[in-house]
Homo-oligomer: A and B are copies of this chain.
Amino acid sequence: MKEGRNLVVIVDDEPSIRKGLARLLGGSHGFDVMTFASAQELLAASLPDDEPCCLLLDVNLPDLNGLELQTKLLGRKHAMATVFITGYADIPLSVRAMKIGAIDFLTKPVDEEDLLIAVQEACRQARQLSISRQEDETIKKQLSSLTPREQEVLAHVVSGFLNKQIAYALNISEKTVKVHRARVMQKLGVASLVELVRLADNAGVRKLPLPAE
């Protein structure tokens, strides 16, 4: 992943627009640029691995609506944020675009200043998303390296149970719980219960109901 340069992926069926945008962004403003003429082209292409990017989408693409393309891409592993551009559009369409998370929705002729601000913001959000996804990934991987029993013990621990309560709930001895617990701490690379709770919460570990007290 190249650092310092941000990738902008342009999809527009007008060659002149593509070139204009590419020159503007790629030239003096230091973005890496890739261009596509249609949604199909983009979907078929392989983007640089895990490179967070700003999608610059024309709404009125010949083969697929820009919003539908955006929806299709959202499900992917790629971290991206979208800026729409359009020549002919109405308010409901722009509102729908914003609702599904577009960074901005610009009308042609596009104001350079607006475009740059939007693209920079999109890149920023894409990078942010990429980072938080990677962290998520790492945590999930660590969690899946736990054995079923360890995961069970972890769930109880972060629910606030004492070892003896966990032992009773799982019908094993307290000593065994301690062993599992120690393994969990070691595998997840945390040194304290505090860190363990934060990590588990971030990973969305299900909290169990407290016992009747």
A residues neighboring B (CB under 8 Å): 89-92, 94-95, 98-99, 104-105, 107, 157-160, 191-195, 197-198, 201
What would 15 more interface pairs be, CB under 8 Å, given A89-B91, A94-B95?
A90-B91, A91-B94, A91-B105, A92-B107, A94-B94, A94-B98, A95-B104, A95-B105, A98-B98, A98-B99, A160-B195, A193-B193, A197-B197, A197-B198, A198-B201
Interface of A is mostly: helix
Measured between beta carbons, the chain B residues less than 8 angstroms from A192 are 160
A-B contact pairs, 10 of them (CB 8 A): A90-B91, A91-B107, A92-B107, A94-B98, A95-B105, A98-B98, A157-B194, A158-B194, A193-B197, A194-B197
Measured between beta carbons, the chain B residues less than 8 angstroms from A107 are 91-92
Bound Cα distance from A7 to B158, whole angstroms: 39
Q: How many identical subunits does the complex contain?
A: 2
Measured between beta carbons, the chain B residues less than 8 angstroms from A191 are 160
Is B194 within 8 A of A159, CB to CB? Answer: yes
Measured between beta carbons, the chain B residues less than 8 angstroms from A201 are 198, 201
Measured between beta carbons, the chain B residues less than 8 angstroms from A90 are 91
Among A99, A107, A194, residue most surrounded by chain B Cβ atoms (within 10 Å): A194
Measured between beta carbons, the chain B residues less than 8 angstroms from A89 are 91
Closest 6 pairs between A and B when the two form their complex, measured CB to CB? A98-B98, A160-B192, A160-B194, A197-B197, A91-B94, A95-B105
Bound Cα distance from A198 to B207, whole angstroms: 12
Among A105, A159, A197, residue most surrounded by chain B Cβ atoms (within 10 Å): A197
Bound Cα distance from A104 to B195, whole angstroms: 40
Looking at the assembled complex, report how far the CB atom of A161 sits from the nearest CB atom of chain B, in whole angstroms: 8
List the B residue with the shortest CB-CB distance to A105: B95
